[in-house]
Structure 1
Amino acid sequence: MRVVIAGGHGKIALILERLLTERGDTVAGIIRNPAHAADLEATGAEPVVLDLEHTTVDDVARRLFGADAVVFAAGAGPGSGAARKETVDRNAAILLADAAEAANVSRYVMISAMGANAEAPDDPDNPVFSAYLRAKGAADDDIRARDALAWTIVRPGRLTDDPGTGRVQVAAHTGRGPIPRADVAAVLLAVLDTPAAVGKTFEVISGEDPVDAALAGALAAL
């Protein structure tokens, strides 16, 4: 399988790239900063330098031809303002979807966020986070409306850098909770291998069940 990951230098993306390449898949990671190329190469992934905030559908599509799946793992990141939540978390995700359709790549996996909602109200104590939830929600809504994409939307809980446990809880609504980034990457890997995940949106946090069992159980209930 060939997988292209947008936001290829993100923490989850780097783990996923290593998981994929270690089992023999081919991976390309889209990055904005060429200084990050060596980190992707260390995982076995091919770095593709492209700024998703300043490019076109055709430019992205050229990088996607021949892929079996795309994963949106990009994000404006902590410290960014509301404007970049819109240009990265919303617009770049939609741009990747447009490019995937243009390149005839139907499988699209989105790393979203728990609480993502295009109509999320303003929080006067944290207006940037409100903008983030709206941007992610709007992107999710756009992806779900596309008949040409075999999409899955994964909404993790609070991300940590703790070692992965390989045990998670997956459900339409899990309730709040943390999850190591390594376990999110393991869930994404399982999603890419699971046709039943197509057309599903679900939350994931740390839990008691192995990833494959947790995913299978949740998908049967969704």
Structure 2
Amino acid sequence: MRVVIAGGHGKIGLRLARLLAEREDHAVSLVRKPEHDADVIAVGAHPQRFDLESGTADELAGIVRGADAVVFAAGAGPNSGAARKDTVDRAAAALLADAAEQAGVRRYLMVSAIGVDRTELPTGQGEVWDAYVSAKQRADEDLRGRDLDWTIVRPGGLTDTSGTGRVTLAAQTEMGPVPREDVAAVLVALLDEPGTAHLSLDLVGGDLPIVQAVQEVQSAR
């Protein structure tokens, strides 16, 4: 399996690439800076230079063409301003979808955030927070409107603790933390289950083994 990861140098992207490499899949990790190459190579992935904020859909289509799936795991980061919440968390996600459509790559996994689809999610906590919520909402809505085999994963509070291999995965869950390592493992399991296309799923730590959790949401649809 060949998978193109947007946000390939991010914490989830690196973990996902490592898991794919361990089972001898081919991960192509999009990176902006040459100094990121070594980290990507170290986890067994192939670094591909591409700037999600300045590159074009045509250029990106040339990279993703022939892939089995694309994964959007990019983010502007906690220290970025409101403008980059839009250019990365929304516009870059749409750019990857445009490229996937042009290249004929149907499978698209989106890493979103828990709660952004809920009307009760608090706003008014500052310009950057409101921009982040809006960007995630709009990115998810855009993807749902496309003729792609998309799955949206909405993790809870991300941690760098070791993964447990057990999660709660459902259309809606209570807020809670989840290790990035487990998020990456869920993404791999979703790649193996094409029947999870067109599902939007909250993800937090829980009791079910990851493969079982993915199989259950597929069978319950």
Fold conserved between structures, TM > 0.5: yes
User: In 2, Cα distance between the equivalents of 1:135 and 1:120?
Assistant: 17
Corresponding residue SS for 1:62: helix
Counterpart of 2:70?
A: 70
User: In 2, Cα distance between the equivalents of 1:203 and 1:122?
Assistant: 18
Q: Is the 8 A contact 2:115 2:121 kept in 1?
A: no
Q: How many residues align?
A: 221
**1:2 corresponds to 2:2:** yes
Counterpart of 1:12?
A: 12
User: In 2, Cα distance between the equivalents of 1:170 and 1:150?
Assistant: 19
**1:105 corresponds to 2:105:** yes
- The amino acid across from 2:39 in the alignment is D
User: In 1, Cα distance between the equivalents of 2:44 and 2:180?
Assistant: 19
Pairs within 5 Å for 1:54-203: 54-117=54-117, 123-147=123-147, 149-203=148-202
Structure 2 stretches of 5 or more lacking a match?
Answer: none
* Cα deviation digits, residues 7-33 of structure 1 (max 9, x gap): 100101101101001101011000111
Give the TM-score, by structure 1 length: 0.96
* Cα deviation digits, residues 57-85 of structure 1 (max 9, x gap): 11101111110100001100011011100
Corresponding residue SS for 1:53: coil
Corresponding residue SS for 1:76: coil
User: In 2, Cα distance between the equivalents of 1:153 and 1:129?
Assistant: 20
**1:46 corresponds to 2:17:** no
- The amino acid across from 2:195 in the alignment is A
User: In 1, Cα distance between the equivalents of 2:39 and 2:78?
Assistant: 20
Runs of 4+ in structure 1 over 6 Å off: 118-122
Task: Quickly say closer, same or farther: Cα 1:34–1:120, change in 2 above 3 A.
Answer: farther
- The amino acid across from 1:180 in the alignment is P
User: In 2, Cα distance between the equivalents of 1:158 and 1:45?
Assistant: 26
Task: Quickly say closer, same or farther: Cα 1:73–1:120, change in 2 above 3 A.
Answer: farther
